[in-house]
Amino acid sequence: LLRSWLTGESAAISDRQAADLNADGRLDAADLTLLKRSILEKPEEPCYIHLRDSGITYEGGHITVSGKTAVIDASGTYYIDGSINGGQILVQVPDETADAGTVKLFLSGVTMTNSDAPCIMVENAEKISVNLAADKENTLSDGKDAPADAEAEPAFAVLHAKDDLTVKGEGSLTIHAGAAYGIHCNNDLKLNGGSLNVTTGGFDAVRGRTSVNIKDGTLFIDSEGDGIKSTKGSLSISGGTVQIKSGKDALQSETEMSLTGGTVQACGDRGLRSGGAITLDGCTLLATATDYPCENLGTTAQPSMQTSFVKEWAKNNPIALTDPAGKTVYDLNTLKKYRYAIISAPDLQSGTDYALWAGGIQTEHSGDARFTLSGSAAYTGVNNTDRAPLLYGGLFDQSQVHKVEITMPDAQWQDFLNHSQDEEYYPCDIVIDGEEYKNAGIRTKGHSSNMFVYQAKKDKYSFRIKMDKYDKYQNYHGLTEFCMNNMYSDPSCMRDILCYNAMADLEAYAPVCAYTDMYLNGKLYSFYFLAEQPGTTLGERLATDDDAVLYKAADVGNNYDCTFAPDMALNNFEVKFGTDDDLHHIADVVTAINQVTPQNYQFIEKLIDVPSFLKGFAVNAALCNYDSYNGQMPHNYYVEYNKGKLYYVGWDYNLSLGNFMDYGASVNSDINTGLYQADANRRPMLTKLLAVPEYKALYNDYVKQIVRFYSDPEKTVNGFASLIRSHVQADPRGLFTADQFEKNIAKSPNGLQISGSQQNPWGWMGMMWPGQGGGLFSYGGENVSIVDFMIKRNEVILSTLK
């Protein structure tokens, strides 16, 4: 009718509005064209492919099935679901000129494994898109492990396209390629959405021949080969989140590379590698490398900085910048070890001085802690010092009691407690001073503190938190491990913190510490002493070179022999950070320290940092920490090998200040030998050093500094008491009463009164159990006021120190 009216063959159209298909108010040839198209072009009917090991079924046309292969021979929309082993989706459009439409594959809950060919193979098609259906998880795999020899290039990728390929959507796709590429495209590859996780064994993860363009979505790559690679053309990232851990180049392009949007963490043996110019404008970038940082990065449009570190940092040591006000303005994690970094973000300011942090530890260059960004800023010799400020230091601010909240299903928590003696990690969610983290690890810890709580059928265990136990890239501002100690034998709740603070005042090596309340599933659980756990983070912050090793003086076989005596078993020390399979640094020191004499001693300074050991021994002796090297059981300390020397690291002071099974008698211990109830012949590190007049004078100076630091014990103790008293009183699982807390910190009218056995009450017989002496757990210190003890100890020291 419309055609007849337009040609004059018909005089009238009853419904002119319906005939005006383009709604322009006129009836003309354009409306006739639209009418013909609407008649001739049928709506596209989607097709469905259902993958099953028992056989592939389908609904719709242009699909043929041969065995476990579904062949698609025309453009259109294809929804795919199900699971199959040894199956394949093969796209093979016979004539892409005649059929120039897009083959649209919608993955809607697909699991495919094929060790002999691509899971999805695009042999011929003008265009193809892989669409990830919303809220659906999909997995493609070659089902193989990485080959021992990855030199020969693989024949295919798990997702392989010989024509243009676009991946998009709102679902997820995981690709595992042990012996193949992850994604390969012969032409233009576009990643425009969805969540992609690509893991490859020995080969590249994502490859495009002509170009690779990333506009949106999230992409995580863990590859032993190159991360993202344009083999003959350009690479551009204009949006999305891209995280790459690569054994070779994280990002590589044959021609130009353009990073103009999104957030990119490119961590590889080499960071950015481009045959052409690199444009960096609008992208938040962290590129790290172990071998070589970058090629062809000239002056950038946005503020940037290239850094070369003195030492190699391990993965999960994030790089952060803080502005002059102390605000964190840049914080991206590292996915593998690194020595070089490129730092850039559009919101950073050229000409502004920033502080640069690695693993939560402040760094510097040439003694300067200021880093100024520009289009071409570069710094070499970047390193931390062993006493650098800490980005996670706020957690150990002693002016407040912190809050650690644990969330775990009640049944799982009960199972956790039932297996407390196993000291195995359990997953939990955690909130630290208001910051939430998912899937951290928690376990019980301690030797006596664990056993005694268990045997008394209590549940105030000491706990160790490992932030990266289940998520290897999780940390708290760089901190990966900390502990919450139950103060099981210390009614004052202060013996630990007083000793750690004495170490800090001497600028000696020791963890940082504070107090915290712990909550479980929204309810107050208990009050704890909070400390940095000796391990990766502590080892890293004390290390200033690549050879650093942190050792624990352990309780191997309960022999407590970390004496450095000639016959000491070397494996009494355990490596907690770094590498020393043969413990040769320990062996070297054992040999050397036993050769020291008052006349021949200076050679020892090449092997140990003498001041650090003297500081540690001075704190032990002045504050009577005899559950350590200076006492009967030479354990409960660490040493760090750094800069070619061994350093003393303090640890575990809860049995100090008259609390170690002597009812306060140690107050009269000999400050000049530094020993108490210990065999001098088996303490060569202490006795040999103090036999040298020069070292003894230095030791005396440290002891005097401790006495000055605690010249008013009552004031010091009252300061902590005012901070923690209400928390001690509110503790629903306190191991001592509030009255016992007050008694243990009060200054007595008659001063320190030594009671009980004073003659080597060693052994478990010296410990009080529930109902004995009023304390839940006591080594005899529950009736020893730490104020009285410190006052008396200062008097003894000042009157006898020689």
Residues 23, 128, single domain; the answer is no
Biggest CA pair distance of the chain: 128
Measured CA to CA, the distance from residue 385 to residue 26 in angstroms comes to: 80
Residues 66, 215, single domain; the answer is yes
Residue 83 lies in a domain: yes
CB neighbour class for 417 (10 Å; exposed up to 12, middle 13-18, buried from 19)? middle
H or E stretch covering 344: strand 338-344
Residue 35 lies in a domain: yes
Measured CA to CA, the distance from residue 217 to residue 262 in angstroms comes to: 9
Residue 625 lies in a domain: no
Strand extents, DSSP E, 460-581: 462-466, 481-485, 513-520, 523-532, 549-553, 573-577
pLDDT value at position 618?
Answer: 98
Measured CA to CA, the distance from residue 436 to residue 476 in angstroms comes to: 10
pLDDT value at position 754?
Answer: 84
Residues 220, 125, single domain; the answer is yes
Residues 24, 154, single domain; the answer is no
The model's pLDDT over 569-607, given as tens digits with 9 standing for 90+, comes to: 999 999 999 999 999 999 999 999 999 999 999 999 999
SS3 698: helix
Place of tokens 């590249």: 204
Place of tokens 């080499």: 270
Query: Domain limits at 502?
Result: 398-532
Residues 20, 89, single domain; the answer is no
Among the candidates 230, 252, 280, a domain finishes at: 230
Residues 424, 493, single domain; the answer is yes
Q: How many residues does the chain have?
A: 802
Residues 122, 190, single domain; the answer is yes
Residue 498 CB-half CA count within 13 A? 34
Residue 320 lies in a domain: no
Residue 98 lies in a domain: yes
Residues 34, 123, single domain; the answer is no
Residues 19, 67, single domain; the answer is no
Residues 73, 192, single domain; the answer is yes
Residue 197 CB-half CA count within 13 A? 9
Tell me the whole-structure pTM to 2 decimals.
0.90
Residues 118, 215, single domain; the answer is yes
Q: Are 316 and 308 in contact (CB under 8 A)?
A: no
Residue 679 lies in a domain: no
H or E stretch covering 229: strand 228-230
Among the candidates 499, 532, 565, a domain finishes at: 532
Residues 442, 506, single domain; the answer is yes
Q: Domains in the chain: how many in total?
A: 3
Place of tokens 């359990």: 426
The model's pLDDT over 298-333, given as tens digits with 9 standing for 90+, comes to: 888 999 999 999 999 999 999 999 999 999 999 999
Residue 571 CB-half CA count within 13 A? 4
pLDDT value at position 53?
Answer: 94
pLDDT value at position 768?
Answer: 46
Strands 573-577 and 549-553, by their bridges, are: antiparallel
pLDDT value at position 292?
Answer: 82
The alpha carbon of residue 617 and the mean position of all alpha carbons in its chain are separated, in whole angstroms, by 33
Q: Are 658 and 664 in contact (CB under 8 A)?
A: yes
Tokens matching residue 391 = 């980005």
CB neighbour class for 83 (10 Å; exposed up to 12, middle 13-18, buried from 19)? middle
Tokens matching residue 13 = 């159209």
Q: Are 220 and 196 in contact (CB under 8 A)?
A: yes
Among the candidates 215, 230, 245, a domain finishes at: 230
For the chain, residues with pLDDT lower than 50 are 2, 37-43, 757-775
Residue 680 lies in a domain: no
Measured CA to CA, the distance from residue 452 to residue 446 in angstroms comes to: 10
Cα-Cα-Cα-Cα dihedral sign, residues 472, 475, 480, 482 = negative
Tokens matching residue 716 = 């010091």
Residue 686 lies in a domain: no
pLDDT value at position 447?
Answer: 82
- DSSP code string of 721-764: HHHHHHHHHH-TT-SS-HHHHHHHHPPPTT-----S--S---SG
